[in-house]
């Protein structure tokens, strides 16, 4: 195989492997056997070994790269990572709605409700479709750079899919599944190691490992839930029947899926408090059977123009 042929084959293999990873880790719909996936991966590794100049730092093979860190670097968020206000009754939810209606009198709007996964909130920044930084929430303005650990999570795309903007900031939750939590604790108990406390602390602690290989061994997952920054010149595809800029939060979720992110499927557009109450009660009934730990429901006004 000469270099032009190798270059062409490398591009094909990376596209195939990326598509398989997306279907397996994001859509939970593997279309191909492990044997075929391993065969393609081995072929790509061999070509990159034979032609080192074709290696790519953002290759699908390079999820665990870099040496262990001495410490985490502090980074400043472009926009504050806000905490949520809690309500514990439908009366409090009604009061929240009343306050909104006083702020925007006469305005008709809908709500968007989604599951709140119990993990560690992080921010991901992409430039020209490539992941360049991942950071923890920290105090809201200053977090820690955890890019190397984020790269080990298969459901975080190293490169975006589809038509993507020049600059994109995504926020979401790093989580550990209940199944992985139980598997790790069985292994820890067998080796007389301290047990993990819960899935939330386990996800957070795993992301704060200074050695990315240790973080990778924890089999973490990621669910995106918000777009904070999108290049102003970017014109997204038709979403929700509207062309051009995003108007609603539910459109952000659809765009995140288009980019290749995993977004939790438990969500609803609600026209009033009654519809929200139905969604919340339904989540309460089902939550113990969910694969991941949860911490309630996040409710926001769906119209993005009202968020500020």
- In order along its 308 residues, the chain shows pLDDT tens digits of 888 888 888 888 888 888 887 777 666 666 667 778 788 888 888 888 888 887 776 666 666 656 667 789 999 999 889 888 888 888 999 999 899 888 888 888 899 999 999 999 999 999 999 999 999 999 999 999 999 999 999 999 999 988 899 999 999 999 999 999 999 999 999 999 999 999 999 999 999 999 999 999 999 999 999 999 998 888 776 454 343 468 899 999 999 999 999 999 999 999 999 999 999 999 999 999 999 999 999 999 999 888 76
Cα-based torsion angle of the residue sequence 126, 232, 22, 131 in order, rounded to the nearest 10 degrees: 0
Q: What are phi and psi of 123, to 5 degrees?
A: -115, 135
- Match 């921010």 to its residue by tokens: 123
> How many other CB atoms are found less than 10 A from the CB of residue 216?
19
Runs of H (alpha helix) within 123-272:
147-150, 178-190, 199-207, 212-216, 249-259
Residue 190: the pLDDT is 95
Strand, helix or coil for residue 70: coil
Residue 150 near residue 212, CB atoms below 8 Å: no
Residue 162: the pLDDT is 86
- Match 């459901």 to its residue by tokens: 155
Residue 51: the pLDDT is 83
The structure's pTM equals: 0.86
Residues known to be catalytic: 116
Q: What are phi and psi of 51, to 5 degrees?
A: -130, 75
Q: What gap in Å lies between CA 177 and CA 181, rounded to an integer?
A: 6
Residue 241: the pLDDT is 38
Q: What are phi and psi of 67, to 5 degrees?
A: -85, 160
Q: What gap in Å lies between CA 179 and CA 45, rounded to an integer?
A: 31
How many residues comprise the chain?
A: 308
Q: What gap in Å lies between CA 105 and CA 97, rounded to an integer?
A: 11
Strand, helix or coil for residue 284: helix
């Amino acid at each position: 195989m000469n270099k032009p042929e190798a270059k062409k084959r490398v591009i094909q293999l990376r596209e195939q492997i990326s598509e398989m990873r997306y279907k397996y880790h994001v859509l939970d719909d593997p279309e191909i056997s492990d044997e075929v996936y391993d065969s393609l991966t081995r072929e790509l590794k061999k070509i990159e070994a034979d032609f080192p100049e074709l290696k790519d730092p953002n290759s699908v093979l390079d999820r665990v790269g870099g040496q262990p860190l001495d410490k985490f670097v502090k980074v400043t968020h472009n926009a504050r990572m806000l905490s949520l206000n809690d309500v514990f009754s439908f009366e409090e939810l009604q009061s929240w709605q009343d306050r909104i209606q006083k702020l925007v009198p006469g305005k008709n709007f809908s709500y968007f409700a989604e599951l709140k996964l119990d993990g560690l909130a992080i921010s991901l920044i992409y430039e020209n479709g490539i992941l360049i930084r991942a950071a923890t929430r920290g105090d809201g303005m200053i977090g820690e750079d955890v890019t190397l650990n984020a790269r080990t999570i298969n459901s975080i795309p190293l490169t975006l899919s589809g038509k993507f903007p020049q600059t994109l900031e995504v926020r979401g939750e790093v989580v550990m599944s209940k199944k992985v939590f139980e598997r790790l604790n069985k292994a820890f108990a067998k080796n007389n190691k301290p047990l993990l406390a819960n899935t939330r602390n386990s996800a957070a602690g795993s992301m704060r490992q200074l050695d990315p290989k240790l973080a990778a061994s924890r089999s973490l997952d990621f669910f995106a839930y918000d777009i904070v920054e999108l290049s102003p010149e970017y014109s997204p595809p038709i979403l929700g029947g509207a062309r051009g800029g995003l108007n609603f939060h539910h459109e952000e979720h659809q765009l995140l899926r288009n980019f290749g992110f995993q977004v939790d499927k438990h969500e609803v557009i609600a026209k009033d408090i009654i519809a929200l109450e139905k969604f919340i009660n339904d989540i309460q009934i089902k939550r113990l059977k969910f694969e991941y730990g949860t911490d309630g429901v996040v409710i926001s006004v769906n119209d993005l123009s009202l968020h500020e």
